[in-house]
Amino acid sequence: MRYFLDMNLPVYYCLQIGHPLEKKAKSFIENKRDIFLLCDYIVDNNLPRWLRRQKIILFEFNQKIQNPEYAMFTSEQSKILFSQDKVLANRLLLNFEKSTDKSKFIEDINQVFNLLHARISFFIKRYIDEIVIPESEIDFDLKSCLFTWLTPNDSDAKTIASAIQEHKNKLLVIFTSDKEHWTKELLDEVHNNPLLIKRYPSLPKIEYLQSYQ
Amino acid sequence: MADKIKKTSEEIKNDILAQLKYGPKTTAELGDAIGSNWLTIEKFLNELKEQNKISELISTPKMRVYRRTDDPIYYSIPFNKEIRAKTLFILSEIEREWKKERKSDLSKTALQKLAVDVIKHCNLNLPILSFHYGLTTCASLDSNNQDILSLIEEPKDKVVILKCIKEVINDKNHTGIAYQERIYQYKKYDLPFYVAKEELTKLFLFHEKDKEASKELNLKIKKALLDLSLNYPLRLEKFYSDFEKFVNNSQIILSNQKNELQNLEIIKSTLTHLWDKLTTFTSFKDAEFFIDKENKQLFEQIRELNLNSKEMGYQNHIDELESVAQESNPFEIDMPQGNASVDIQKLIFESLENE
């Protein structure tokens, strides 16, 4: 089987929090008997951008704890942060303020962010068999159709479009934990488009990490 | 028509050297100043180059800029004559006064630290550069070089400056010892990034003395790297990505149980090059305010040249560091234990779910 992985899976695999999804991701990856695919958009664009944003979150955190007068998100680089990144940075600061061992918290947060980065890069090298569909070759019509239903999530639209295109080259199964957005109903919308149904007569199945045994 | 007295070759060469005392100049500028044509100037410039008295600072198909090899100004930045002369005056007077009062010689580092105190204490409008070993003046003094010393002129505010020098030398915290002078300056002017770098340098020195470096040393270096990260200054944020790459890869290498001693050498040399790159940037940033309008273009060329060469040096090292780090399996390095670590990771997990 060829599994096309969502971006969340490598991140879940790299964490150590004892969450059920993390355990399932570890089991899925470590019992690997299948081919794992990631799309070029995730490897070359989305994941590096996400990691860059994590670095900036850490930068903001470190600046703030060293200098309480520092106004969060005033650095030039913080302009690329999303609202959920700012929420994360503020929540980390709140946790820091509540922590009893501040030095340990600072050491931990820096180590977690550093290790997460290294682990994700290592994960791609060790476990990913193929990187498919160059971002420049993503079918614009297909992506636009998906984007209509996923608005405003351009990332998901590009990733799912890559999966559908690769499925046309060779059959695959999409593997994700996002039950809310990555649905069969969403894929069916592709077949409601007269142009796209001809271009992509077969659509991939979706399997969820939550259902993995 | 007035008779033109023909200069000897030595006279022309001395004229060139005299012109370059006030900073780097193009071939055309030198020709105009000396009153010689391009061919003559080129001939003598080549001879001076062979004698190692001058060097090409910038060389493009359209333009060549020359500097004296004994130019006292760091990076040969084109500061004006007044800045050059006044800075050298302060340095030489401190050296003289220190010898008189403390009856000992001053190290070059200590001299710079005292001079920075004088400039700040006196509120003198002179450049202070954030150099690789902390704050310095823009010039280095070689008191054996009479030719350069002849640049020194007594400034109008000489009396105030000399009074200031006395006060600074009377500060008992100045010991004249390079290491102590650096630490004193970093604390005095609140330079925690430099303090953290100093600590790292010290640990690497321990490693050189005791090659049987232990796990304990690894831990200390990891802590010092963290401290360096925590004190990363906002003014360097455009290089944060490079810095973070260095710290991240170094931490991975140091966390690896199988870390070998030679890896510390790679971390150390990468840090040296990164530091060089960062402080070259800050030095030029500090200098730019003091550059006269007519020298701005030359200043930018010198800046670009230096930043590019530092960048190349750094890239070679970071690539090597990265490839060593990639030999480690980061899954063999545990995430930190305890509730704080789990909570941090949970927050990242939740944030990712909202992507």
Residues of B with Cβ-Cβ distance to A99 under 8 angstroms: 340
Mean pLDDT over the full length of chain B? 91
**A52 contact partners, CB below 8 Å, separation of at least 6:** A80, B241
Q: Phi/psi class of residue B103: alpha, beta or left (left: φ > 0; alpha: ψ in -120 to 50)?
A: left
CA distance B262 to chain A (A): 21
- C-alpha–C-alpha distance, residues A194 and A143, integer Å: 15
B40: exposed, middle or buried (Cβ count in 10 Å: 0-12, 13-18, 19+): middle
Same domain, residue pair B264 and B153: no
CA distance A207 to chain B (A): 17
Same domain, residue pair B213 and B315: yes
Domain interval for residue B29: 9-71
User: What's the pLDDT score for residue B22?
Assistant: 87
How many interchain CB pairs under 8 A, A with B? 124
In this prediction, residue B256 has a pLDDT band, given cuts at 50, 70 and 90, of confident
CA distance A16 to chain B (A): 7
Is B50 within a domain?
A: yes
Q: Do residues A143 and A156 touch, judged by C-beta distance below 8 A?
A: no
Mean pLDDT to the nearest integer, B102-128? 95
Q: Do residues A65 and A106 touch, judged by C-beta distance below 8 A?
A: yes
Of A50, A63, A88, the CB nearest to B234: A63
User: What's the pLDDT score for residue B208?
Assistant: 62
Is B289 within a domain?
A: yes
List of long-range contacts for A63-69, beta carbons under 8 Å, 24+ apart: A63/B232, A63/B234, A64/A93, A65/A93, A65/A96, A65/A106, A65/B230, A66/B192, A66/B230, A66/B231
Answer whether A83 touches B (CB < 8 Å). Answer: no
Mean pLDDT to the nearest integer, B72-85? 94
Check pLDDT > 70 for residue B12.
yes
Question: Could you give the angle at which helices A102-127 and B240-255 cross, rounded to 10 degrees?
Answer: 90
- Region of poorest pLDDT, from A91-95, B190-194, B203-207, B347-351: B203-207
Q: Do residues A164 and A182 touch, judged by C-beta distance below 8 A?
A: no
User: What's the pLDDT score for residue B1?
Assistant: 42
Residues of B with Cβ-Cβ distance to A55 under 8 angstroms: 240-241, 244
- C-alpha–C-alpha distance, residues A45 and A175, integer Å: 19
Same domain, residue pair B320 and B246: yes
Residues of A with Cβ-Cβ distance to B237 under 8 angstroms: 59, 75-77
User: What's the pLDDT score for residue B213?
Assistant: 56
Instruction: Give residue-wise pLDDT tens across range B327-342.
Output: 889 999 989 999 999 9
CA distance A92 to chain B (A): 7
pTM of the model: 0.88
Same domain, residue pair B197 and B178: no
Answer whether B247 touches A (CB < 8 Å). Answer: yes
Mean pLDDT to the nearest integer, B184-210? 90
Check pLDDT > 70 for residue B4.
no
Q: Phi/psi class of residue A34: alpha, beta or left (left: φ > 0; alpha: ψ in -120 to 50)?
A: beta
Is B268 within a domain?
A: yes
User: E strands of A42-188, at which residues?
Assistant: 130-132, 173-176
Cis peptide before A68 (omega within 30 of 0): no
User: What's the pLDDT score for residue B3?
Assistant: 47
Is B266 within a domain?
A: yes
Mutate to test the interface with B, among A58, A109, A177 (most CBs of B within 10 A): A109
Same domain, residue pair B330 and B274: yes
User: What's the pLDDT score for residue B210?
Assistant: 62
User: What's the pLDDT score for residue A78?
Assistant: 95
Residues of chain A scoring pLDDT < 70: none
Cα separations (Å) of B79 from A147, B132, B140, B160, B286? Answer: 57, 20, 14, 23, 12
In this prediction, residue B353 has a pLDDT band, given cuts at 50, 70 and 90, of confident
Express as a percent the part of chain B with pLDDT over 70: 96
Mutate to test the interface with B, among A7, A14, A17 (most CBs of B within 10 A): A17
Same domain, residue pair B149 and B228: no
Mutate to test the interface with B, among A111, A123, A124, A177 (most CBs of B within 10 A): A111
Residues of A with Cβ-Cβ distance to B232 under 8 angstroms: 59, 62-63
Residues of A with Cβ-Cβ distance to B335 under 8 angstroms: 15-16, 111-112, 115
User: What's the pLDDT score for residue B341?
Assistant: 94
- Domain tally, chain B: 3
Residue in chain B nearest A178 by alpha carbon: B353
CATH number of the domain where residue B50 is located: 1.10.10.10
CA distance B323 to chain A (A): 12
Which of residues B187, B219, B251 is at a domain's end? Answer: B187
Which of residues B141, B165, B187 is at a domain's end? Answer: B187
Check pLDDT > 50 for residue B2.
no
Residues of A with Cβ-Cβ distance to B340 under 8 angstroms: 95, 99, 101, 104-105, 108-109
The total of other beta-carbon atoms located within 10 Å of residue B250's CB is 26
User: What's the pLDDT score for residue B5?
Assistant: 63
Same domain, residue pair B52 and B104: no
Answer whether B342 touches A (CB < 8 Å). Answer: yes
Same domain, residue pair B162 and B205: no
Is B1 within a domain?
A: no
Q: Do residues B217 and B223 touch, judged by C-beta distance below 8 A?
A: no
Is B237 within a domain?
A: yes
Same domain, residue pair B268 and B223: yes
Same domain, residue pair B309 and B197: yes
Which of residues B131, B155, B187 is at a domain's end? Answer: B187
Same domain, residue pair B201 and B317: yes
Give the A window 38-77 contacts with B, CB below 8 Å.
Answer: 50, 52, 54-55, 58-59, 62-63, 65-66, 70, 75-77
Is B347 within a domain?
A: no
CA distance A168 to chain B (A): 27
Q: Which two tokens stand for residue A162?
A: 């890559």
Express as a percent the part of chain B with pLDDT over 90: 72
Same domain, residue pair B133 and B161: yes
Instruction: Give residue-wise pLDDT tens across range B34-78.
Output: 888 888 888 999 999 999 999 999 888 888 999 999 999 999 999
Is B241 within a domain?
A: yes
In this prediction, residue B180 has a pLDDT band, given cuts at 50, 70 and 90, of very high
ipTM value for the complex: 0.90
Check pLDDT > 80 for residue B239.
yes
Check pLDDT > 80 for residue B260.
no
